[in-house]
Amino acid sequence: MSEPPPPGPLRVALHIAAALTLGLTQGLGNQFVASNAQAIQGQFLVTANEAQWLTAAYTATNITATLLLYKVRTQFGLRVFTEAGLALFAALSLLHPLVRDFPSMVALRAAAGFAAAPLSTLAFLYTVSVLAQRFKLSVGLSVGLLGSQIAPPLARLLSPHVLDHAGWEGLNTLECGLALLSLAIVLMLRLPPNPRSKVFGLPDAISFPMLMLGMGLLSLVLSLGRLYWWFEAPWLGWCLAGAVMLLASAAAIELNRAQPMLELRWMAQPTMLLFTATMLAARFVMAEPVTGAVGFFQNLGLLNENMQGMQMAIIAGTLAGTAISCVLVAPQRAPALHAVGLACIALGAWMESFSTSLTRPPEFYLPQGLIAFGTALFLPAAMAWSLAWVFRTGPRFLMSYLALFLASQVLGQQIGSAVLGTFVTIREKFHSSHIVASLTLQNPNIALRVQQYGAGLRPVLEDTAQRDAQGLARLGQLATREAYVLAYNDLFLAVAAAALLMLLALLLHRAMAALRAAAPHKTA
């Protein structure tokens, strides 16, 4: 039989546009919530910590559904996999504008995270299925990742304009429109069918609830631990203990099954462990734009509308890196692209480490562009290298690999945000203690500054002692601000150091591989 003719340029363009739309729909839905905490607080009358429950609920179910989807696709077919998942996501999006109380919104976001899980996988399938063989690893992977990569800066770019014109309901309507558009795309632009086989069994009814609850509890701990603080909220410890127990029980069941939900033995091979560790470490340094740069300016009092230019620089860096990846990505070039990407991330983070309280977003355009460029180079190259190994070991592991990759992205981002956020809090307390220790009223300069701050309140406060107290409080606020600036500088340096350590480990690994290849083979 002759092979079918290659798709025409129009069909390729439609598939690429579909992949970008699906990736953006998945990313923007969560990022609209994550980047507008103040709007959520005002809409539902909740605290800052409570508002984070919306993001935590979404990611907790999304990561679990991602691990399940490859078996759903194998048993029920690609059409059911796509249409049912997107129909549910669109239906849940239609309910968002109708919800008025916060607990219902948390439950709805959890359901939306579960229903939106097919979108990331579909973004890859739409590009890979239509491209010629020589472009599948380069263009396919790069474009498949692009939508989810530009979603965070694009959400912060669009949110102020939508909120100004339509409020919180406008963001819900936009997410609903994207969900309906994605559903229309998969109904009109069908993917080729995949072979089907029965893979679900009775043990799935036991192991999957364990896996779902375990990953959900772990995700909640990672999302909320630094907000409620790790050692102060007892329920965090109970959640973590429950997650460990449930995940260990699920792993014990899966390891003794003929057709496991997750190929744990295959995932435990050294190559896959190296890939997973690489992805988690990469996500740690790639969490810097949100936890680092955005957090830095938010502590200085800036809002999303004040960071529009910086978000555009991130998008530009991502597009530039994606364009180069489309041309250069190949398994044999992965180490070189990894090295360039890590070097760009390290350089960008190091440039940001000289910030002061007078630093403003334009000074971050180049560093953030470099970090985005490095990220766009690193991820497709890592996927190309690991996918080449997967195809050599057996194509039947492909969907397990995609599930592992997508889950590691969500979990790695949570780990990165949790570690970096905790690091900032600890370093802020350290710097604050040193600054406050030097603020004594016996220092004439400090006493004069307190009087100057209180002098502005003379028209409303006649009592000198009260004015001095207000001036001292103002001085304490400035000390806290400067402590946060120093803490974020420490964070930027830590990210640069982590990227350099990863680069050094990569170079050592390549050097050892070259030495092994050059050494003469010894026989027993």
Confidence class of residue 493 from pLDDT cuts 50, 70 and 90?
very high
Q: State which residues form the domain around 233.
A: 204-256
Considering the domain architecture, whether residues 48 and 144 belong to the same structural domain is answered as: yes
Same domain? 183 vs 210: no
Residue 379 resides in a domain: yes
> Best-predicted range by mean pLDDT among 88-102, 116-130, 366-380?
366-380
Q: Does 414 share its domain with 322? A: yes
Task: Tell me, yes or no, whether 135 lies in a domain.
Answer: yes
**How many domains, the chain?**
3
Q: Is the pLDDT of residue 524 over 60?
A: no
Examine residue 180 and state whether it is found in any structural domain, yes or no.
yes
Q: CA of 101: how far to CAs of 112, 160, 316, in Å? A: 17, 23, 38
Q: With the C-alpha atoms ordered 103, 104, 105, 107, is the resulting torsion angle positive or negative?
A: positive
CATH of residue 20's domain is 1.20.1250.20
For residues 36 and 146, membership in a common domain is answered with yes
Q: Which of 194, 227, 244 is the last residue of a domain?
A: 194
Q: Which of 194, 213, 246 is the last residue of a domain?
A: 194
Say whether pLDDT at 517 is over 80. no
3-7, 184-188, 318-322, 399-403 — most confident range: 318-322
User: In this structure, are 327 and 235 located in the same domain?
Assistant: no
Indicate the pTM of the whole model. Answer: 0.86
The count of other CB atoms within 10 Å of the CB of residue 181 is 15
Q: In this structure, is residue 199 part of a structural domain?
A: no
Q: Are residues 184 and 215 both part of a single domain?
A: no
Report how far Cα 405 is from the mean position of its chain's Cα atoms: 13
Extract the tokens encoding 482.
Answer: 């400067």
Contact partners, residue 88, CB within 8 Å, separation at least 6:
115
In this predicted model, which residue has the larger pLDDT, 91 or 324?
324
Average pLDDT over residues 473-477: 74
Residue 263 lies in a domain: no
Answer yes or no: do 278 and 208 share one domain: no
Domain identity same for 302 and 421: yes
Long-range CB contacts (within 8 A, 24+) of 477-480: 479/432, 479/435, 479/436, 479/439, 480/428, 480/432
Cα 384 to Cα 390: distance, rounded to the nearest angstrom: 10
Q: Are residues 347 and 460 in the same domain?
A: yes
Same domain, 523 and 458: yes
* C-alpha of 23 from chain center: 13
Instruction: Let me know if residue 71 belongs to a domain.
Output: yes
How does residue 464 score in pLDDT terms, banded at 50, 70 and 90?
low
For 396-407, the pLDDT digits (tens) are 666 667 667 767
Shared domain check, 240 and 101: no
| Domain-located, residue 261 | no
- 60 and 139 inside one domain: yes
Residue with tokens 């002692």: 465
Is 262 inside any structural domain?
no
